[in-house]
């Protein structure tokens, strides 16, 4: 069953899917409807899941489930990933590519392939003051505290020491 994202408890489990491009309002609206249809019937071991979805920055889909109600299972997570693959195909975008690292600088989001991070730091394209998205967070409470952090306080800090 679907609930409003703001109704999810801070302890809710989340998954973040980063789009390969900025999404238009039309894409967001259409994909939001698709997500809601999926979440309305999403189950784990035949038990309803209390789930929500929200698009942030016109680029990131965040799916949350209140595991105090019912926990997501391996099979239900597989169904979610298969649904994401369906969206990728239908909308011709990537949502599962973890090799693209997203940054926020002067209110603009840009991505750099993981293998080019060190060079981007050496050339000054990435600076310690920039913000980086940590898409590996797994709880809603971390969206506000730990999702967006400065590069100098992230895992990239080590590259600045080596440069």
Scan for tokens 């997500």, then name that residue.
Answer: 35
Domain end (from 91, 108, 123): 91
Residues 50 and 71 in one domain: yes
Task: Calculate what percentage of the chain has a pLDDT beyond 70.
Answer: 98
Residues 83 and 110 in one domain: no
Average pLDDT in the 89-100 region?
96
Domain end (from 61, 91, 121): 91
Residues 58 and 126 in one domain: no
What's the Cα-to-Cα distance from 75 to each of 46, 96, 135, rounded to whole Å? 11, 18, 22
Task: Calculate what percentage of the chain has a pLDDT beyond 90.
Answer: 86
Radius of gyration of the chain (CA): 17
Tens digit of each residue's pLDDT (9 = 90 or more) over 97-156: 999 999 999 999 999 999 999 999 999 999 999 999 999 999 999 998 999 999 999 999
Looking at the structure of the chain, the number of domains it has is 2
Domain end (from 28, 56, 91): 91
3-state secondary structure 24-74: CHHHHHHHHHHHHHHHHCCEECCEECCEEEEEECCCEEEEEECCCCCCCCH
Name the residue range of residue 58's domain.
Answer: 5-91
Please tell me the pTM assigned to this model: 0.92
Using alpha carbons, select from 119, 100, 95, 97 the residue that is nearest to residue 110.
100
Residues 52 and 73 in one domain: yes
Per-residue pLDDT for 161 more than 80?
no
8 DSSP 8-state letter:
S
- pLDDT for res 163: 46
Residues 85 and 128 in one domain: no
Residues 26 and 54 in one domain: yes
């Amino acid at each position: 069953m679907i609930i409003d994202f703001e109704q999810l408890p801070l302890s809710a489990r989340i998954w973040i899917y980063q789009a390969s491009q900025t999404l238009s309002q039309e894409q967001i609206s259409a994909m939001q409807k698709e997500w809601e249809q999926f979440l309305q019937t999403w189950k784990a071991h035949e038990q309803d899941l209390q789930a929500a979805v929200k698009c942030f920055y016109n680029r990131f889909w965040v799916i949350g489930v209140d595991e105090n109600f019912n926990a997501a299972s391996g099979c239900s997570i597989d169904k979610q990933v298969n649904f994401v693959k369906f969206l990728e195909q239908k909308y011709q975008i990537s949502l599962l590519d973890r090799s693209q690292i997203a940054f926020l600088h002067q209110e603009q989001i840009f991505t750099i392939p993981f293998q080019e991070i060190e060079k981007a730091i050496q050339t000054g394209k990435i600076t310690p003051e920039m913000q980086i998205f940590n898409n590996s967070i797994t709880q809603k409470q971390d969206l506000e505290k730990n999702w967006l952090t400065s590069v100098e306080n992230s895992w990239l800090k080590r590259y600045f020491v080596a440069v």
